[in-house]
Amino acid sequence: MKANRKITANVERLNALMDEAGLDALMLRSGQNFTYLSGVVYPGTLARHIDLTDSTRPVVLLWPRNGTPVILTNKTAEGLARRDGWIEKVVLYEAYVDSPQEKLAEVIKEAGLASAKIGFEKDYFSALHWEAIQKALPKMRMIECTALMDRVRWVKTDDEVQVIRRAADLLDDAYLETFKRIRHGDTERKIHADMMGTCLRLGFEWAHGILNSFKNTIPYAGESDFVIEKGDAIRTDYVGYLQSYPGHQSRTVIMGTPTPEQKRDYAINLEIHRKCLDRCRVGANVNDLWQKTMNDYAAVGWPDHHMLIGHGVGAWWHQQEPILRRKSSHVLEKGMVLALEPHVNFWHLQDMVLVTDGAPLLLSPKFNTDEPFIAG
């Protein structure tokens, strides 16, 4: 490890869970886990090579329980690994010429792990690549480790919480700046472009999300030239990544003076949202949390069978375990950071909370959600 770089990941928990599973090492290539344990945040095209399981230019991290971690990469991706990561040893393969899987086998042999029990992410090593690695190292035991890594990442260190809190503040700054510029006659596309530009200008590495009028009935279909008019309620759901960690909130905008019905419906959803947040205590069962929130919606006559009411957050990708859904057996632990978003239609509020020994701590308090934001 580099002496001048502090690891933000929960290495103590990682070691404990590796020992529990009897793993000698981990071989990681997903964006969530590679970024989490390397400190390297790849942008643009390099990011796509991490996410695509059939990439011919993968970047892989070998993390032994005891020994020296190694990043396997190619010349194009080498610079960021050496500049930004906290892992000192970087091994290169020649992109489009060498087999990354054969080079990976060499790295494992060099580390003395050719007969070891190693955790691999079965959902990020393709079947073809899995078979190639197994053929090159027939004595090595390849164990699926995705669920183990989910458990590692979902309890945050203090350093991770601090970054997430800064990201939440920054995203609310972007919301407030952008919302103040909305005018009657603007299009969804114009406002969305303003939001994206503001996120990047304020310091996020990248951002994505949605912004739709309530009259646009297909959410998550992209922003259109649909014109925003007075009286429209606008739904948002954005993520901005800071040092790979998300600011992830949803805020509601109304163009002009809200109608009595809009005020009533916003208040109904706000009350249910805050009840949901308050229930996020150590030991709470995820299915029970989901069901209690559905009961709240049923009590006011609103739809009461939602896909989810929230989720964990973490490095690289904002939506991680625990997913707060029906039939989940997960139990909340101290140190989890959750994005809570129970909502119906365009009344979409979302906040992030830290699960503590007592009441949950709101990590996204900068934007006052007592009432919808009035624009125009």
* pLDDT tens string 320-375: 999 999 999 999 999 999 999 999 988 999 999 999 999 999 999 999 999 999 99
* pLDDT tens digits along 57-76: 999 999 999 999 999 999 99
214/78: higher pLDDT: 78
pLDDT at 215: 85
Q: Helices then strands (H, E): number in the chain?
A: 11, 16
Residues in the chain: 376
**pLDDT of 30 higher than 80:** yes
Give the pTM.
Answer: 0.96
First and final CA of the chain: distance in angstroms?
52
Residue 217's pLDDT band, with cuts at 50, 70 and 90, is confident
Q: How would CATH label the architecture of 11-153?
A: 3-Layer(aba) Sandwich (3.40)
- ∠ CA 44-45-48, nearest 5°, is 95
* pLDDT tens digits along 71-119: 999 999 999 999 999 999 999 999 999 999 999 999 999 999 999 999 9
Q: Where are the domains of the chain?
A: 11-153, 158-375
Dist CA 117 CA 21 (whole Å):
10
- ∠ CA 188-193-195, nearest 5°, is 95
pLDDT at 216: 86
pLDDT at 220: 85
Q: Mean of the per-residue pLDDT values for the chain? A: 96
| Alpha-carbon 296 to chain mean position | 27
% of residues, the chain, pLDDT over 70: 100
Retrieve residue 106's tokens. Answer: 């060499």
**pLDDT of 3 higher than 80:** no
Dist CA 162 CA 243 (whole Å):
11
pLDDT at 107: 98
**pLDDT of 175 higher than 90:** yes
* Mean local confidence (pLDDT), 255-280: 97
**pLDDT of 2 higher than 80:** no
**pLDDT of 289 higher than 70:** yes
**pLDDT of 209 higher than 70:** yes
* Mean local confidence (pLDDT), 40-50: 96
Question: What's 329's DSSP letter?
Answer: -
Hey, do 11-153 and 158-375 end up sharing a CATH topology, with the first three levels equal?
A: no
pLDDT at 18: 98
Mean pLDDT is lowest, of 2-6, 155-159, 370-374, for 2-6
158-375: CATH, from 3.30.365.10, 3.40.50.300, 3.90.230.10, 3.50.50.60: 3.90.230.10
Q: Check if the beta carbon of residue 125 is closer than 8 Å to that of residue 144.
A: no
* pLDDT tens digits along 138-155: 999 999 999 999 999 999
**pLDDT of 4 higher than 80:** no
Dist CA 233 CA 250 (whole Å):
13
Sheet holding 351-354, edge to edge: 320-324, 310-312, 337-340, 351-354, 361-362
